[in-house]
Structure 1
Amino acid sequence: MRVLIAPDKFAGTLTAVQAAEAIATGWRRHAPGDELDLAPMADGGPGFVDVLHAALGGSLAAVTVRGPHGEQVPAAVLHVGETAYVESAQAAGLHLLSGAASESPETASSWGVGELVLAAVSAGARKVVVGLGGSGTTDGGAGALGALGATSDGVLDGGPAGLASVTSVELSAARERLSGVRLVAASDVDNPLTGLFGAAKTFGPQKGIAEDRIADVDALLEGFATATDRRTSLEKGAGAAGGIGYALLALGATREPGIELVAAAVSLADRAKAADLVVTGEGAFDFSSRAGKVPYGVAGVAGEALRPCIALAGKVLVGAREMRALGIESAYALVDLVGEERAMRDSADALAELAQRAARTWSR
């Protein structure tokens, strides 16, 4: 039996590569004769550059950029010919927020993402693909714009709190600096910048913004959009990565679903056709997975190839009906098998056990 293993990362515990290897380890315990094809995936969030490097080759250039609160953080630019790939989470990721009282999520800046784009362009890239997802910022991409040369009468590098002083933004210098470069925003969500489904309302709480501050932060983003480019703030993907998507779109970027971009890079459709079963997974499998997440994207490719798809996850938070709507035949949860504590502590071993259990049902 041929099994295609195409998981996302298990946030906070396993990279996509580690997750794929753990699933393969467990599957082989029950079905050592099965032919396993490992295709680690990403949707634009953490792991985007590593997954593409494994699939496309190219060269990684190490750079140092500004983190959300001004600290220097390591990052990498993947160069494949004249195309460069960068990952916003490396410069502005949720994992970079310390939680210190002096480092409020309302002062977290995306400045380092602009520095990553500049590093790619300075090295000769004519196309820069920016993976969006997993950010700890909600500044509408103001910091990234500032790093790229945008100017304002207010503070662009102070997180959403700094936007209170912004009444006008000039993008001409940033656009000039990127002249002749094609920008692509690889987004895992299609939310607008502001409003009920905007960056603050939808993603602010997970970044530490207090519930009673969400409306105020949304209003700050609304004012920033009015000062910069109101129409673009309504576009799909503008709310990605706390609004870094908006900054890129305002500079003329095109938007591509991150999962589709990665699927094409790893030739997922052809590999699914060659398989008998597709296995995907992520940390939390819930109905939000439909919004551009890896399991939904992988299941869609499996469906087009007329192959069944199952999911292994840390938690499964959907019922059978919702699961079918996402294109998943069956889903298995780590916490149901080993409990939450061990699922977090021994993630690789626990995931291998879960894969072994799934193989008992699905392997011929």
Structure 2
Amino acid sequence: MAEKEVLIEVKNLKKHFKVGRNKTLKAVDGVNFKIYKGETLGLVGESGCGKTTCGKTVMGLYGASDGEVLFEGVDIHKLDKKARKDFTRKAQIIFQDPYSSLNPRMTVEDIIGEGIDIHGLYKGNNRTQKVHELLELVGLNKEHAQRFPHEFSGGQRQRIGIARALAIEPEFIVCDEPISALDVSIQAQVVNLLIKLQEKKNLTYLFIAHDLSMVKHISDRVAVMYLGHIVEFAESHELYENPKHPYTRALMSAIPIPDPEEEKNKTRIPLDGEIPSPINPKSGCRFVTRCQYATDLCKTETPTLKEIGEEHFVACHRVGEI
């Protein structure tokens, strides 16, 4: 079996923010993962766990406080101006909010064509034709090119955002909760579109979301994040069938089941207890205040990710006992 080619490698990535005198918000605090070429890595967790900050730091939109983000073996946070421009040609982002991420004063043609202009890819009629091709690729019409964002629904705006990301033919796209602001009926359409485009153009995705059912549908592997740390990492089917971390199990138990009878009899794992502040966090496991299995060791020593099965990693002192 051929060895998979690593496109992105994140090593001990940290992103800390100063919030007042002698206070540091540790949004991302020592994260490690690889993304293979042509795959989708899902990054999941509750709101405020650091998913979006991680994605933006991987893209270079935030500078890293420590650690490395290697794209094709080169640290993107040490690139000069020209190399950074070349990197932005290969990596793009689809933002969470399709309402605020599109400039209301620009036509759809200019929104999609902005990256094309920056990188000098197409001019004149060729540029217009490329925009029309992109619109049709994402399920819109070329007649939409001269309209403004306010004339579209949320789902259509997100399609415009996807077309903009594809305009300069990138290899890697960070999908930052691209469906969370959309109606449920539209979410599956957008996810299916992303899957279709990935197959057609051999794209690599970092797919950030808190909807675990959608993440299961699109992801090859999944990383579970809690307050700046990755607590579990595995192939998608393995994680959903065999979750090991107490936090992952609680998240899985919250996924609704379509069958009303099964849903009624399902056992949910409540997440009681207080969420600790990510500002100057104490030592020990970040999940300790909400974990029913916590011991004194959990309060003093931070668990590290350990491989408990093939490509299945868990950060928990009591894994195997619970």
Please report the TM-score for the alignment, with normalisation by the length of structure 2. Answer: 0.30
Structure number with higher helix proportion: 1
